[in-house]
Amino acid sequence: MKTKNLFSIVFTAILFTSCFGQDGAPSPASYKESSRILIKDVNLTIGEFLAKGEVAEAAKHIKNKMSDCLELGDGSKLCEAGLNFTSGYLYQQAALEDVKNSSAYQKRALTYYEKVLASYPDNKAAWSNFIQLIELQDIDPSIIKKLEGMAKRYPSERINIYVRIGDMYKSDNDLQKACDYYQKAYAEDPFSEKACGAMVALYTRYEFSCVTRNNIRQLALDCQEIDLPNYSEELLRKELITSFNNKKYKKALESLVLWTHVMVDNNWLNSKKINRLKVKLFRGQESETRAENIIYNALNELQRIIQAEQIEDIGDIQFWNGYSPEIYMSGEWSKINPKSVLYKVYHTKGKKAYFRGDLKQAETFWQAALDGVRNSDRAFYTYVASDMARLYNNNPRLDPSDKKLNKLIIRLFNMKGAAYGDNDLRMIRKYHITLGGIFYDKKKWDGPGGANAKFQLSRAVSSRFGPIVNPKLRRMLGDVYNELNQDSNAINAYTKSVEDYLSLDLIKDADKLMGITREKYSTAMNSNQLKKINGIQIIIDWRKETKDPNNDLLKNKVTVTDYLEKVSTAENEAKKAVSDKFVKLQFFKGLSDLGVTISEDRKIDRQIILANALGKIDKVYQLSSPTDFNRIKNIKITLEQSVAQPKRLESAQMHKKANLSYSTSGSKSGFKTYSVTALNKEIVVPDQLFELKGVLKDHYSVNQVVKEAKIEILDGKFKIKN
């Protein structure tokens, strides 16, 4: 036995006991210390056995010492787990020394690590060694079955296990099976970079199309939406090269347009990257066919566009400005075509010109973008228009008599009128937001007609265009009312902005604005406004408390029952002045955050808090922040650990963005559905998951149990087991 391996066993055992002292069930310090001493002594002894190659004797010694664990009272569980870990490590090391019996030793080691994880499912040392052994196994039905079982038992590791199974099949060159497991992992958590990356690698490195729904482009779009644009770029670049090599030139052109779109969106596009792509496609040779020539010229034009500091330097660009017929994509990228990408490039180049102080060229590029998208992409038009208006407002010498700005405003008013005619609520709101921002910057607070910040911003946040969560807009509206000395309206707008900050989990911003509002309008508030502000302050204070690692519940200074009574009192007080729906959602957020923060050894407390969190959204309420999705996922994973037959949370993807419009969606049969209309996405949660909260609460209140509740699903419903 090598000294290095002996040291590793001792060191890992010490690491194990220190980890389990933190993560395991609480026990008197003397029992824990006795467990550590016993395990350390056993490790030293088996090290001597292994040095002589006496594996069987070492295993026998561990087995004999297992009975000593029973004498350690509350420390017995830790002791047994420690010795099981030592057994696993014993056979793992023996497998390295004995090539002939290596496979058998590895399988024994896996069995012992499984025993450890059954008692301590979050122990990182056991998981690490278990995974190391799995990587050494050949594809075998028994190994896959073992991993599938562990995926069911350990929800928090499910994604890692599915990806690991996929990797095993990939190493065995069974790419379809690998893809199946990567897709399982991705469906479990569509935000998982590990799952997304595994699917992307199958295509980019093995040329195997492992897609999410329809095709590679859909996977690329999904990657873009979950803030993994690097994978999106990699997929589209590979599709472009593959299509070109297979002489599928139309597809290659479309891929080029989409690739450029992603590159521009993330500010990655430069001449060097275009050159690399040209070399990859043409290998320094001339294009041979007309179709190849179109792609070659498109890349040359793109390079010229990127390098030009002035729009006059770009010259003739037939593909990007006038290729016929235009290339239209499908699905959510349907508006992307060569011209739409060109105008995005112009917008980006305008920003670069602005920051280098070339204001005239910034204006020229932005005007070209505005002219180009006016009739094709109205949403992007409002985005560029906001930048152009800010340019004129901040640099009056470019537009001394406001002639250009007024022309832009008239155009926005006309386009808004057309949107009203089409009853396009989404675009109507965008025009009000854009115009409101322009008049706010001009300090044009009020006046005749709609050419003022008060009219436009009040319409922008109006519920007639659907619910909206946007604290910045409401705060701007509060500023407008403040300038007009309309204190009551200002108080209402600022208060609503505070609510929006809370909805987006920006608690510090909410607290700061609430303090400013209280101080500034202390004598101007009527009784109802003061009552509402006090109600919101209760929520702010409580949510701050849930974030405090030293709060009484986390420090175990108060029982869960007493704490929930205190929470119920605070909730009822807040409901006296604030809408029931808003209050429930806030207490769902706070209890969710608190529940997953409670230490692992207090599993019953965690279950009760999280079950109560679910109780706050037992109807279809609006989720106001993308983090609410993760809250439900965390609750699901935590509670699944005590469910005999775990059910996967069905979920759709969401942007990780802040300012979202949201609305309720009708509940599907058997599910509760959360819809974010601005993204056309839904979060779907099985009704069964919500029934769990009642089962748990009834179980604890009636039985006053000390042990963790075990739950199973019978006839589609959650039931307490035994």
CA-CA distance, 383 to 390, in Å (whole number)?
Answer: 11
- Residue 59 is predicted with a pLDDT of 80
Query: Is pLDDT of 14 > 60?
Result: no
* Nearest alpha carbon to residue 612 among 630, 587, 633, 637: 587
- Residue 359 is predicted with a pLDDT of 95
Encoding tokens for residue 395?
């640099």
Q: Which residues contact 446 (CB under 8 A, 6 or more apart)?
A: 452, 453, 454, 455, 480, 484
CA-CA distance, 586 to 592, in Å (whole number)?
Answer: 10
Q: Provide the domain count of the chain.
A: 2
Q: Which domain holds residue 695?
A: 579-720
* Nearest alpha carbon to residue 463 among 488, 486, 434, 432: 432
User: What is the mean pLDDT of the segment spanning 490-497?
Assistant: 97
Reported confidence tier of residue 722, pLDDT bands at 50, 70, 90? low
Count CB neighbours of 449 within 10 A: 7
* Nearest alpha carbon to residue 591 among 613, 566, 611, 620: 613
Q: Which of 81, 108, 137 is the last residue of a domain?
A: 137
Q: How many CA atoms does the CB half-sphere of 55 hold within 13 Å?
A: 19
User: What is the mean pLDDT of the segment spanning 278-282?
Assistant: 91
Reported confidence tier of residue 1, pLDDT bands at 50, 70, 90? very low
- Residue 304 is predicted with a pLDDT of 93
Specify the DSSP class assigned to residue 138: P
Query: Is pLDDT of 621 > 70?
Result: no
Residue 30 lies in a domain: yes
Residue 537 lies in a domain: no
Query: Is pLDDT of 433 > 90?
Result: yes
Residue 646 lies in a domain: yes
Q: pLDDT tens across 160-189, in order?
A: 889 989 998 998 899 999 999 999 888 777
- Residue 100 is predicted with a pLDDT of 82
- Residue 298 is predicted with a pLDDT of 94
Average the pLDDT over each of 7-16, 529-538, 611-620, 649-658 and give the range with the smallest value: 649-658
User: What is the mean pLDDT of the segment spanning 263-277?
Assistant: 92
Share of the chain above pLDDT 90, in %: 46
- How open is the CA angle 487-489-492, to the nearest 5 degrees? 110
User: What is the mean pLDDT of the segment spanning 289-305?
Assistant: 92
Instruction: Enter the pTM of the model.
Output: 0.78
Query: Is pLDDT of 21 > 50?
Result: no
Query: Is pLDDT of 663 > 50?
Result: no
What counts of helices (H) and strands (E) characterise the chain? 31, 5
Reported confidence tier of residue 82, pLDDT bands at 50, 70, 90? confident
User: What is the mean pLDDT of the segment spanning 530-557?
Assistant: 95
Q: Which of 114, 137, 160 is the last residue of a domain?
A: 137
Query: Is pLDDT of 480 > 60?
Result: yes
Count CB neighbours of 681 within 10 A: 18
- Residue 656 is predicted with a pLDDT of 35
Residue 169 lies in a domain: no
Q: Where are the alpha helices (DSSP H) in 548-686?
A: 560-575, 580-597, 603-615, 626-640
Give how far Cα 524 sits from Cα of 162, 437, 446, 530, 576, Å: 60, 27, 22, 10, 21
Average pLDDT, whole number, for the chain?
A: 82
Average the pLDDT over each of 322-326, 530-534, 673-677 and give the range with the smallest value: 673-677
Query: Is pLDDT of 542 > 60?
Result: yes
User: What is the mean pLDDT of the segment spanning 22-41?
Assistant: 58
CA-CA distance, 66 to 84, in Å (whole number)?
Answer: 9
Query: Is pLDDT of 5 > 60?
Result: no
Q: pLDDT tens across 398-416, in order?
A: 999 999 999 999 999 999 9
* Nearest alpha carbon to residue 93 among 127, 63, 129: 129
Query: Is pLDDT of 578 > 90?
Result: yes
- How open is the CA angle 513-514-518, to the nearest 5 degrees? 120
**For residues 541 and 218, which has the higher predicted lDDT (pLDDT)?**
541
Encoding tokens for residue 618?
């037992």
Count CB neighbours of 50 within 10 A: 21
Query: Is pLDDT of 373 > 60?
Result: yes
Query: Is pLDDT of 39 > 60?
Result: yes
Alpha-carbon Rg for the chain, nearest whole angstrom, is 31
Residue 703 lies in a domain: yes
CA-CA distance, 230 to 223, in Å (whole number)?
Answer: 8
User: What is the mean pLDDT of the segment spanning 694-711?
Assistant: 65
User: What is the mean pLDDT of the segment spanning 378-389?
Assistant: 95
Euclidean distance between the first and final Cα of the chain, in Å?
A: 48
Residue 699 lies in a domain: yes
Encoding tokens for residue 433?
């937001």
Residue 683 lies in a domain: yes
Average the pLDDT over each of 318-327, 658-667, 686-695 and give the range with the smallest value: 658-667
User: What is the mean pLDDT of the segment spanning 451-465?
Assistant: 95
Residue 549 lies in a domain: no
Single-letter residue type at 291: A
Q: Which of 88, 106, 137 is the last residue of a domain?
A: 137
User: What is the mean pLDDT of the segment spanning 478-487?
Assistant: 97
CA-CA distance, 576 to 89, in Å (whole number)?
Answer: 60
Cis status, amide bond into 325, omega within 30 of 0:
yes
